[in-house]
Amino acid sequence: MTRLGFKKFYIQGGDWGSTTGSAMATLYPEDVLGYHTNMAITQGKQGGFKTMLGAFFPSLVVESHLADRMYPLSDFFAYLMEEFGYFHIQATKPDTVGVALTDSPSGLLAYILEKYSTNTNRNHRKLPDGGLERRFTKTQLIDNLMVYWSTNRITTSIRLYAEDLSTKNRQLEIDDYTTPVPTWAFQAKYEGVYQPPSILKTKYINLLGTTVLEDGGHFLAFELPEIFVKDVFKAVDEFKNWHKNESKNSELASDKRAEKTFLIHNGFQLAGSIYRMAKILLGLFVIVVTYICWSAFSSGSSQPPKLDPEEWWGPKELKGKQDTSIRPFQVKFTDEMIKDLRSRLKNHRQFVPPLEGVAFEYGFNSKAIEPWLKYWAEEYPFKEREAFLNKYPHFKTNIQGLDIHFVRVKPQVPAGVEIVPLLLLHGWPGSVREFYEAIPILTKQQPGYNFAFELVVPSLPGYGFSDAPVRPGVAPGQIAVIFKNLMSRLGFKKFYIQGGDWGSAVASALTVLYPEDILGHHNNFAMARNKQAAFKTILGAFIPSLVVECHLASRLYPLSSMFAYLLEETGYAHIQATKPDTVGVSLTDSPSGLLAYILEKFSTWTNLENKLKPDGGLELRFTKEQLIDNLMIYWTTNCITTSMRLYAEETSNKNRQLSLDSHTTTVPTWAFQTKSEMIYQPPSILKTKYLNFLGTTVLEDGGHFLALELPQIYANDVFKAKAANEQREYRDVQRHGHQQYQRNRRLTAFEIVISSLLERP
């Protein structure tokens, strides 16, 4: 504005324009004549306090007829969780998601226009067409898309989310400073966040007024231009009148305001310290009281739910007509597919250069993409890898309306060697390919053991070569039923299971739903998600020695570090749990985007320090062939969208009401815990879920994709777990009435604390 010759000026902004306008009003109060915003928000401490106060006494904070715009807070937080997955991933991995959006106009359209649907009116989610043309024309929306597409600015635009949440920016604490600039708020009915004047005035001390609209959404100037413009004129008139009234004492008022701002900021710093301490103490108190209430008053069933073993997940018109035979199957890379793939890889758009000095901290570094794309298009031996993927016998059979794909490998062992059935379960973004290096080890008798495994390795429904459900509802519990039916069809009444990632969740569900049929459970992503586990985790934050061995405490504590890590690394899960079909469009259309999206996980989940390497450290543990093999399974089957829907099913109300995680299991369990796995829980916590917990292998190496990273170590541990199971007569537990009683009843918080004290790790 200075270059244009404007020393003083007015500001209007919404969305990031609102944030920028607020910062300008704070930093340059003498130069900003007035600030009109259609996304008025303050994130200061006083505003936060008043928001919480209003949750208990709304009338102290907001007018009664507007209270439902911000309360109950549970509805507000649910809305944020559902609609802010894009924010989460853009604030943590903008360069990863940016690759696909840069390369795919279809994906860019879906990603941006979905916001013009739901951010204009939340009820548009229920409309088949998203209600896009109720307020906008196609031309208007495509005009906006063309600005992003023609300038190749989608990646750089979403980096702003990462910058806003950076440590450097947060340390500025601009939101904690007040501003004397006269302000006017225009508040549409369907704006994402509503704050009443009593809260806004904690930031904007000269809030002259608000216009509360019973219409409109986030893109107000675009949606209702005449109403928007009238309000801007109205606000500017108010600003001018305010300046006339203030002009006589402007110099004195300026000094007082500066002094007040300084005092307020320093007061906030002191108050912030007290506030943080109070939060810790209050949090502990609330956790203890809440848990006692859960223990005393929750009335959950001691028996797990019964899921329908014949629930139909395929097309309704095919019910009763399915072929239930077991059919051989082969992986095929057709010439047509290969030609199309190579064309897409070679003709991708130019990617945005990474920021200076940045490796993988913003996601997949675009400089590291080119060698991978060149290899995939020009050097990857498609036909050789097709033959490699077919080296083991593949089959399909229809279970509950879905053609389920699986690999079955029988061991060749001498007479007298026990053959043990083992169900191997993969996760996301993996596939059956993860197990290829471990299969020959598992199916061969190993020194010191008189058994080998017969392997059944299925593709999860919606993954790889397995059909995807045609209707919502298939979460880990339902997949467990499908795989139990698969094993029964193959003639295995009882069997062992091994899983990681989603395979871990499905395996855990199998142990809960079919404890009599699961002989043992080996897990390399072991987790207990129940009340007792949560209580012990919080308890250990204050007294770690009650929960975890000293030399392993850093894997779990401090909780602040764990939560910071999860916040940084789970943006993908957030958007996949809320908008899988939106992000799926670009990943379906762009092999470059698919590569960046998936391989970034093979980088950071293998070792978090790989983020600091320009190439992501991908070839420190994997070969290009291994990783592209896995990508080919996603690309050839067009399953990336259906694979991501599993996150939405897991977090659905229907699935959460099953509460499978709250039920214990008597199936003997062994945990394999690598150094760089995302989540670590010690035995004292895992035992709240797995009552016959045989032990753990704690590895000072490895990450999330254990079977692919360290196949020999992985396979050795599976053998070790099976042997440990043989040595323990776990079924004795079922023959003791007192132990059965102890298993079925709920422990009190006091008993859990005493148990922790007596059973130190």
Q: Which residue numbers are catalytic?
A: 501, 647, 704
Rounded Cα–Cα distance for residues 704 and 722 (Å):
22
Beta bridge partners of 37: 13, 185
Beta bridge partners of 380: none
Apex CA 272: angle with CA 266 and CA 277, to 5°? Answer: 145
Task: Specify whether the CB–CB gap between 220 and 14 falls below 8 A.
Answer: yes
Task: Specify whether the CB–CB gap between 107 and 593 falls below 8 A.
Answer: yes
Q: Is the dihedral of CA 719, 620, 458, 334 positive or negative?
A: negative
Beta bridge partners of 402: 399
Rounded Cα–Cα distance for residues 753 and 504 (Å):
28
φ/ψ of 357, rounded to 5, equals 75, 10
Rounded Cα–Cα distance for residues 425 and 435 (Å):
9
Peptide bond into 72 cis (omega under 30): yes
Q: Between 73-83 and 571-578, two packed helices, what is the crossing angle to 10 degrees?
A: 100
Strands 207-212 and 183-187: parallel
Strands 669-673 and 495-499: unpaired
Look-up of token digits 């000026």: 9
Rounded Cα–Cα distance for residues 682 and 311 (Å):
37
Structure tokens at 46: 């006083």
Q: How far is CA 466 from CA 21, 396, 427, 433, 507, in A?
A: 51, 8, 13, 14, 18
Rounded Cα–Cα distance for residues 363 and 649 (Å):
26
Apex CA 733: angle with CA 730 and CA 738, to 5°? Answer: 165
Q: Between 624-637 and 591-604, two packed helices, what is the crossing angle to 10 degrees?
A: 130
Structure tokens at 644: 């991501």
| 9-13: strand order across its sheet | 9-13, 32-37, 183-187, 207-212
Collapse the DSSP code of 219 into the 3-class scheme (helix H, G, I; strand E, B; otherwise coil) and give the result. coil
What single-letter DSSP state applies at residue 309?
Answer: T
Q: Between 45-56 and 250-297, two packed helices, what is the crossing angle to 10 degrees?
A: 50
Structure tokens at 496: 């062992």
Amino acid (one-letter) located at 560:
S
Beta bridge partners of 394: 329, 407
| Cβ neighbourhood burial of 302 (10 Å; 0-12, 13-18, 19+) | exposed
The closest of 722, 723, 681, 719 to 698, measured between CA atoms, is: 681
With residues binned 3-state (H G I as helix, E B as strand, rest as coil), the percentages for the chain, rounded to 5, are 55, 10, 35
Task: Specify whether the CB–CB gap between 105 and 149 falls below 8 A.
Answer: yes
Beta strand ranges found along 226-382 (DSSP E): 327-329
Structure tokens at 517: 């049929």
Scanning 417-558, the segments in alpha helix (DSSP H) are 439-442, 476-489, 502-513, 531-542
Show contacts of 554-557: CB within 8 Å, 24+ apart: 555/675, 555/680, 556/680, 556/681, 556/682
Residues with Cβ within 8 Å of 744's Cβ and at least 6 positions away in sequence, in order, are 302
| 669-673: strand order across its sheet | 327-329, 394-399, 402-409, 451-458, 418-425, 495-499, 518-523, 669-673, 693-698
Rounded Cα–Cα distance for residues 143 and 340 (Å):
29
